[in-house]
Amino acid sequence: MTSTTPLPPLRSCGHDLDPSLVGMMTATPGTTDPSTLQDQMVRDGYILLRGVLDPAKVLAARRRVMEQLSSEGQLQEGVDIMDAVPRSGVSLFFQPELAQKNNPELQELLYAEDGELMQWFSRFLGGKVRHYDFTWLRCMTPGPGTPAHCDIVYMGRGTHRLFTAWVPLGRADFKSGGLMVLEGSHKDVDLQNTYGKKDVDSFCVNNPNDEARTANGYNGWLPGNCNEIREQHGKRWLVSEFEPGDAVVFCMDLVHGGLDNVSSSLRLSSDSRYQLASDPVDERWVGENPPGHSAAGKKGRIC
């Protein structure tokens, strides 16, 4: 789809996006020099890379996930597993257990030292790169996309010069949905100084009812629907369709979310995080068994 082709009706979390306030992401060549990429990140908050990854490796990672879901009886029988058609009644969303050590194809795609993504980040950051050991994997059944949020509230205990790589594990068109980013939202200082100071795993020790004790990270969404959030914090929602091999890299302060999946298939994508190895790291997301949002990742404070 070109920038001049009218967009189809789009929804996020059940709300129609105002078509007059939706635009297309702008792609950047993967060979762009690092200083230009850094300037673009400061200006736009995201970098859309077309074909930066080997599509065959992307599809191999997709197949491994599909094999696991099929073995669990989550997929419709008699259909090619690569079509990712869920069995009737199946509801999937966040499936990180399918992305860890039992998926070597995905681990290689995202984290191989000589792989396309790690090499890209090494050039972009200008030094030795460290990735988070935890991988966020989404298998989105038809229905609502991921609510709007900023990543900083989930992983702000280390360096803030940390970047997300969103990788679609297969084609993601406007029917299956995909990533949407809020134009200019990474420059919203008021948002950074309020919501952006939140730590979803920090709780009030003197408040036994603090939701952060048990929210498991689901207390990090921005309040309001996609149109209200756009009115408050940005200019337009920017969207795109994606092919295997594409990736979107973005900063911690960029508001983003997911379009609804109105297809009959799962939409698969991974989120992985990268920083300079010399910078401090958020302890929740590294190690043999990263604690994440478990009790070991919680941090109490007096309120």
**pLDDT tens per residue, range 36-46:** 999 999 999 99
Give the model's confidence band at 215: pLDDT under 50 very low, under 70 low, under 90 confident, else very high. confident
Q: Give me 190's structure tokens.
A: 């008021």
How does pLDDT run across 19-63, given as a tens digit for each residue? 999 999 999 987 789 999 999 999 999 999 999 999 999 999 999
Q: Which residues of 144-175 are buried (b: 16+ CB within 10 A; e: fewer)?
A: bbbbbbbbbbbbbbbbbebbbbbbbbbbbbbb
pLDDT for the residue numbered 70: 96
Q: What is the pTM of this model?
A: 0.95
Give the model's confidence band at 287: pLDDT under 50 very low, under 70 low, under 90 confident, else very high. very high
- Work out the mean pLDDT of the chain and round it to a whole number: 95
Q: Tell me: pLDDT of 224 over 60.
A: yes
How does pLDDT run across 57-91, given as a tens digit for each residue? 999 999 999 999 999 999 999 999 999 999 999 99
pLDDT for the residue numbered 3: 52
Residue pair 64/70 in contact by the 8 Å Cβ criterion: no
pLDDT for the residue numbered 156: 97
Mean pLDDT of 255-280: 98
pLDDT for the residue numbered 167: 98
Give the model's confidence band at 121: pLDDT under 50 very low, under 70 low, under 90 confident, else very high. very high
Residue 249, phi then psi, degrees to nearest 5: -105, 135
Residue with tokens 């190895």: 277
Minimum mean pLDDT range among 23-37, 103-117, 210-224, 272-286: 210-224
Q: Rounded to whole angstroms, how far apart are CA atoms 122 and 203?
A: 35
pLDDT for the residue numbered 212: 84
The DSSP-derived string for 63-92 is HHHHHHHHHTT-B-TTS-GGG-PBPTT---
